[in-house]
Amino acid sequence: MISKKVEEAINLQIKNEEHSSRIYMAMASWCETNGYRGAADFLYKQSDEERMHMLKFIKFLNDRGGYSVLASLEVPASQYKSLREIFDHVLSHEEFITASINQLYEVSLNEKDYTTGNFLQWYINEQIEEESTVHGILDQMKLLGDDKAGLFHIDKELGAMAAAKVIDVLA
């Protein structure tokens, strides 16, 4: 049986993952209506991936005898100045998520819940990958510049990344 503290911490993370999914969907919608089809595809996929992260936590918590509950969420921003602003925001959001996963890991260790600690390893690795992907995109943006030609290439690149992205399915 899972402890109340771990249950609460996982429910908070469920909220964070669902919020991530909504943030990326809002960004995708902005990109789609501002001429960035590749970036939109990338962010829609990212939104699906966050939903999968949320679902994975929901099933884990329920399987362990806890109860996953959904929380109310902040409305995501709907206006952005540029593609660069969007990806700066994605990076700071992912850094926040990494910190929240680390916090959850700490709670599980304090509660001597090694099963949850072990489950969280997947998320810890996933965060390394997510941050590194966004760093790569921002590096490319700096390199190519934010004139029309640079943005055109970045958008194409993001579209190719979206097409190649395979979302992990739940075990």
Whether the CB-CB separation of 46 and 24 falls below 8 Å is answered with yes
- Binding flag, residue 20, ligand OFO (CB under 6 A): yes
Picking from 56, 45, 38, 41, the residue whose alpha carbon sits closest to that of residue 21 is 45
Continuous segment of H or E residues that includes residue 10: helix 4-32
Q: Given the complex with ligand OFO, which of 6 and 97 has the nearer CB atom? A: 97
- Binding flag, residue 130, ligand OFO (CB under 6 A): yes
- Binding flag, residue 18, ligand OFO (CB under 6 A): no
- Binding flag, residue 113, ligand OFO (CB under 6 A): no
Write the interaction track for ligand OFO spanning residues 92-111; mark x where CB under 6 A is met and - where it is not.
--x--x--------------
- Binding flag, residue 50, ligand OFO (CB under 6 A): yes
Which residue number has the CB closest to ligand OFO?
20
- Binding flag, residue 53, ligand OFO (CB under 6 A): yes
Picking from 78, 86, 79, 84, the residue whose alpha carbon sits closest to that of residue 147 is 84
Picking from 123, 119, 118, the residue whose alpha carbon sits closest to that of residue 102 is 123
Q: Which two tokens stand for residue 18?
A: 């669902």
Whether the CB-CB separation of 50 and 17 falls below 8 Å is answered with yes
If binding means CB under 6 A, how many residues of this protein chain bind ligand OFO?
8
Footprint of ligand OFO on this chain (CB under 6 A)? 17, 20, 50, 53, 94, 97, 126, 130
